[in-house]
Amino acid sequence: MRLEPKPAPSLAVTLLFPIGAIVATFIITSLLVLAAGASPFSVFYLVAKGAAGSQFALLETLTRATPLIFTGLAVAVAFRAKLWNIGAEAQLYIGGVVTVVLGTGALPLPSYLLIPIIMIAAMAAGALLLLGPAILKTRFGVDEVVTTLLLNFIVLLFVSMLLEGVLKDPTGLGWPQSSKVIAEAQLPRIIQGKRLHFGFVIAIVSAVICWVIMKKSVLGYEMRAVGNNKEAANFAGIPVNRVLIKTALLSGGIAALAGFSEVSGLKGNLTLDLSPGYGYSGIVVAMLAMLNPLGVIASAIFVAGIFVGADAMSRTAGVPSYIAQVMVATALLTMVTAILLTRYRVRWK
């Protein structure tokens, strides 16, 4: 078997394969649901109802989608230039650390000044965190998959040390958590009494900005050129290493906004369980969106809906909520296969 590059696919083909991937995901998941002794139609209905069957369910889905949009954008931006950022989880947590350090009273400023300052500082921290692996890649050829993946564990242990030390809440009854951020550092709720906050609006705006950068700017053109063919881009005079550094700064900064959003908008403080794997799920979100920043919004809501709906479904249908993780993982595998078949033709010898 060998793979032959295809000519530029038509729009119909480009849309057909991802749709086929989603259909294949539901078919494969249906078999697992049947093995669990439940009806696939009933389970999928309950998942959909649990994700969007009421105002509460829909708002919970959008709340869960907010950090996924940020991490999905971070991955989409990096992957477009073939910078394999697997460390969005670390960048998320470092954004949360900066938010707590600056948002617990260190800067006595009004909200309209304090929140932008914290956002910029969190983005700078996330950008600098990914700058290290980017420099190692461009200067010494070190595989960024390894360095960014290992940074996830290093940063999580660093956060654990902080929560047991200088950032530990003295009124937290010994729990490893930080103090609450002050009211001026908290993002307002979109609907009073509900959990959905303005971090979701910031995420949507970030997606639009990323789309403009990737589609309309010189940097976006350079990122696509480097991602498509690094040698050809270098021959054409594009500074490949400089583009990768800029991409790393942008990607790391966006991922850190997920940590800022979760601390400032939802939880109010930093804990070790701030993220249940949003950084890794961002890879799934980006691939489902085919690295399109606007598509990241839809895919993040889709993935968040699966997780939220599965929690509600498991209580009714008796099927474990882990089926959500199986669905997301299967969706990633089928989408990667769909992208492969879109770009290459399989030849059998």
Model confidence pTM above 0.75? yes
Confidence of residue 4 (pLDDT cuts 50, 70, 90): confident
DSSP 133-155: HHHHHHHH---HHHHHHHHHHHH
- Predicted confidence at residue 254, as pLDDT, reads 97
d(CA 150, CA 283): 16
d(CA 50, CA 48): 5
Q: What is the pLDDT of residues 104-120, one digit of tens each?
A: 988 889 999 999 999 99
- Predicted confidence at residue 206, as pLDDT, reads 97
Confidence of residue 167 (pLDDT cuts 50, 70, 90): very high
Which residues of 8-165 form beta strands (DSSP E)? none
Cβ-contact 68, 282 below 8 angstroms: yes
Average pLDDT, the chain: 91
Evaluate if residue 86 carries a pLDDT over 90: yes
Residue 193 CB burial class (10 angstroms; 0-12, 13-18, ≥19) = exposed
